Amino acid sequence: MKVAGFIPSRLNSERVPQKNIKELGGIPLINYSLRVLNKVKGIDEAVVFASEPSICDHIEDDLEYTYLKRPASLDTAQTTIQDIISEFLKLNDADIIVLLHVTSPFLKPETVSECLAKVLSGEYDSAFTAYSFKKFAWFKGKPLNYSLDKPTPRTQDIEPIITEQSSLYVFKRDFFLKTKRRIGNKPYIRSIDHFEGHDIDTPEDFEIAELIVNAGFFSHLK
């Protein structure tokens, strides 16, 4: 059974220009995800899926990876992650996909290993990282995890709200091809904190990431 670590990437990011190769702590961002995949036992191949081979010029020489060219037509803002995964599976024969997004540089190798192990065990059909909030939540104008008709509970007693953090998904090839879904019917949900899950989507997010690096909170891949 082949396991592929899959990093979709493009250079023409809209909100943070050249984001995937922008230097964070003096290191082009793409390297953080590849460092993680290189530290996870059980991953047979780490793949950078990008339309521009020049991205390889920014990858550290000691990192093991395969560059796989993707169609430039997938570099538009209208492209969905399902489009990208579908094209990747046409070109790679992996049975299990470990999808990492470059925008989450602080993801820990042990988190990836745990999610992969849960899927390989057969106990779960997929896995993903998430945030867990014990907050009073509303959805479509109504309380979601508490009732206005009952005494307000303590926050530590309410059911947590789970949100996908979107940096890591582990799923099976066959299931995705049948359903176009990267989350199965019995997923393993791995809660992570906001340091590990920090996502870079805007220039402000990048500045916060620099603060995290400079403050010494991030050291597990150095």
What pTM was computed for the model?
0.92
pLDDT of residue 104: 94
pLDDT in the model for residue 221: 57
State the sign of the Cα–Cα–Cα–Cα dihedral 150, 163, 43, 97. positive
Mean pLDDT by 10 residues, the chain (222 residues): 94 75 94 96 97 95 96 90 96 97 95 98 97 95 95 93 95 97 97 94 93 79 57
Kindly give, in sequence order, each residue whose CB lies less than 8 Å from that of residue 117, ignoring residues fewer than 6 positions away: 42
> Which amino acid appears at position 80 of this protein?
T
**What is the reported pLDDT for 108?**
96
Q: What is the CATH number of domain 3-132+163-214?
A: 3.90.550.10
CA distance 20 to 12: 9
Query: 158-182 as b/e, with b when 16 or more CB fall inside 10 Å?
Result: beebeeebbbbbbbbbebbeeeeeb
| Predicted local confidence at residue 14, as pLDDT | 65
Ordered by start, the domain boundaries in the chain are: 3-132+163-214
Write the DSSP assignment of 137-181 as a string of letters. Answer: -EETTEESSS-TTSPPPPGGGSPPEEEEEEEEEEEEHHHHHHHS-
Token pair of 15 as six digits: 């909100």
